């Protein structure tokens, strides 16, 4: 099985297979006499594992960890679970960031006429000078902004 077939069978592009080999995520493939890479069904299985992990948003580094655990028959499932849940936490953090952005933008767009007049609260907000820190009583919510 050459790299093109392995690519089709696994859903990982040939380019990425070579890249994963280069950075050491997967072992160097066997070669034919003429230098073509050769893949076994087991190799394809590994590539498919990578494909699925990638689709779940794992980084190359995390995929390396998961691959090692997968191939370690004496692993503790707690280790796998920890990697997965930590990744979930990262994803949720990102979701919250994005939700904050979307909320702010929807709010601003909701107050924008969206017609041929130039007045636009969206631009006004983007251009606004953030208040130094507080006026008399500090506002309970410091306005529409996202955290650090």
Q: Given the rule CB under 7 A, which residues bind DNA?
A: 2-5, 7, 13-16, 18-19, 29, 32-37, 54, 59-61
CA dihedral 95, 66, 38, 35 (to 10 degrees): 80
In the list DNA, a second copy, none, the entry touching 145 (Cβ below 5 to 8 angstroms by class) is: a second copy
Q: Catalogue the E-assigned strands of the chain.
A: 30-31, 37-38
In whole angstroms, give the CA distance from residue 23 to residue 136. 57
Contact positions vs a second copy (CB under 8 A): 45, 48-49, 52-53, 55-57, 66, 69-70, 72-78, 80-82, 84-85, 87-88, 91-92, 94-95, 98-99, 101-102, 104-106, 108-109, 112-120, 122-123, 125-130, 145-146
Concatenated DSSP letters of 6-26? HHHHHT--HHHHHHHHHTTSS
In the list DNA, a second copy, none, the entry touching 68 (Cβ below 5 to 8 angstroms by class) is: none
In the list DNA, a second copy, none, the entry touching 115 (Cβ below 5 to 8 angstroms by class) is: a second copy
In the list a second copy, DNA, none, the entry touching 10 (Cβ below 5 to 8 angstroms by class) is: none
The residue whose two tokens read 């093109």 is 4
Tokens of residue 134, six digits: 């507080």
Minimum distance, C-beta of residue 12 to DNA, in the bound complex (Å): 8
Minimum distance, C-beta of residue 87 to DNA, in the bound complex (Å): 12
> Residues near 5 by Cβ (< 8 Å), separated by ≥ 6?
39
């Amino acid at each position: 099985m050459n790299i093109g077939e392995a690519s089709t069978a696994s859903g990982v592009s040939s380019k990425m297979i070579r890249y994963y080999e280069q950075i050491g995520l997967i072992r160097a493939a066997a070669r034919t006499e003429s230098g073509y890479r050769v893949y076994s069904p087991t190799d394809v299985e590994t590539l498919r594992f990578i494909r699925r992990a990638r689709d779940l948003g794992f980084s190359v580094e995390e995929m390396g960890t998961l691959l090692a655990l997968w191939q370690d028959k004496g692993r503790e499932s707690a280790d796998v679970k920890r990697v997965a849940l930590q990744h979930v936490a990262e994803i949720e953090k990102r979701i919250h960031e994005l939700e904050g952005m979307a909320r702010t933008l929807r709010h601003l767009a909701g107050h924008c006429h969206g017609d041929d007049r130039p007045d636009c609260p969206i631009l006004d907000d983007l251009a606004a000078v953030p208040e130094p820190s507080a006026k008399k009583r500090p506002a309970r919510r410091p306005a529409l902004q996202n955290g650090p």
